[in-house]
Structures are given as C-alpha cells and as structure tokens.
Amino acid sequence: MALIITDECINCDVCEPECPNDAISQGDEIYVIDPDKCTECVGHYDTPQCVEVCPVDCIPKDPNHAETREQLQAKYERLTAAK
C-alpha cells in the first residue's frame, strides 16, 4: 500500500526531505504523497521514514492503493531503474 497524509498534517516540513523516492510534496493545504512513487520505503529502509519522523502520526496506509510487499519492491525497482 502507498501511504497517505491525513488532514491532521501540521505542515511541519519534516517528512518531505526524508522520502527517498521524492513522493512527498506540498499540496494546496497539506503535504501529499504521490502513490505512483511511494514504496513505503521498501528497497531503501525497513520502515517508512516519513512515518518515523511525523510528530502528529498522520501518515497511515492508503486503503485506496493496496499493494503487496512484492508490488512495492517492483515499483522501487522501476523507480530506481529510471534514474
């Protein structure tokens, strides 16, 4: 599953620089995660780094973008091959 940032986001700016896939950006009101780039840090880290640093715990799994660990790994491989 990709992750999503909820409206509880306080725009503290700590999650964006932690994302190794550049999947997090400033949205109209809060930060947003691009599900096409989010691998939950699979391929980079053991845990999602944005979740680790978020002070308000507002980054759950996005139920609209369900993916297995294998799918996340394949996405990671596609993203890193493109670089």
How far is CA 2 from its chain centroid?
6
Average pLDDT, whole number, for the chain?
A: 95
Query: Which pLDDT band, with edges at 50, 70 and 90, does 28 fall under?
Result: very high
Distance CA 15, CA 17 (A): 6
Q: What is the pLDDT of residue 1?
A: 78
Q: Does residue 25 have a pLDDT over 70? A: yes
Q: CATH classification of 16-81, choosing from 3.30.70.20, 3.40.50.11820, 1.10.150.120, 3.40.50.970?
A: 3.30.70.20
At 83 the pLDDT is 65
